[in-house]
Structure 1
Amino acid sequence: MSDHTDAPVAPVGAFEPPYYVAVFTTVRTQDQSGYSETDARMEELVKNVPGFLGMDHAQTPGGLGITVGYFRDADALTKWRCDAEHRAAQKRGRAQWYECYTLHVAKVERSHGFARAEGPQSRATD
């Protein structure tokens, strides 16, 4: 989805399993006209889906993009998949914005996270 250059750099936190993830991996075309606006609209829409938990994004310098959406249950993911505006954006993506993509959907059975409590400069050294 969007570049999120002004967003804080941190992954979506771990959730109590089970929950679902949709991993959308893309390579985009040169023609990105209208992409940013549609991407912003999709992010706005998905946040209103009951059971939507969050989203992570990453983009490589070579152009590989990865978006991971987190959903409480399969019903939430189905609501998002079936949303009329989302379906229209998918169609336009295939016609214009993506060279190729993959979508992987999985049920998460285990989840944990780590966050450093203090910055590196305030930690004691050995």
Structure 2
Amino acid sequence: MHEGFLGVESARNDIVITVSYWKSLEAIKNWKQNLDHLDAQQLGVSKWYEKYTVRIALVEKEYSFEK
């Protein structure tokens, strides 16, 4: 994948939510400037998406439960 990329999760139902995890803000910035990624963004805007939102957030803590 790309340097600094840690993983991705996606959920699709009535809406699509994709969360990608990165090592640092610098890694995110580098990915945003990646030519393949820029091409994919343009394709998404022209073919698939009517709108999207990007949020950059810091995960302070994570825990989960599964039976």
TM-score, structure 2 normalization: 0.83
Q: 5+ residue gaps in structure 1?
A: 1-47, 117-126
Other-structure match for 1:52: 5
Of 82, 87, 97, which residue of structure 1 is paired with 2:48? 97
TM-score, structure 1 normalization: 0.48
Q: 5+ residue gaps in structure 2?
A: none
Other structure's SS at 2:55 match = strand
Alignment size in residue pairs: 67
Name the structure, 1 or 2, with higher relative contact order (CA <8 Å, separation 6+).
Answer: 1
Name the amino acid aligned to 2:12.
Q
Q: How many angstroms apart in 1 are the aligned matches of 2:65 and 2:23?
A: 21
Which structure has the larger Rg?
1
Other-structure match for 1:77: 28
Work out the percentage of aligned pairs sharing the same amino acid: 36
Name the amino acid aligned to 2:59.
V
Q: Deviations over 1:51-93 (max 9, x none)?
A: 2111001000x3x111000011111111211110100111111
Other-structure match for 2:38: 87
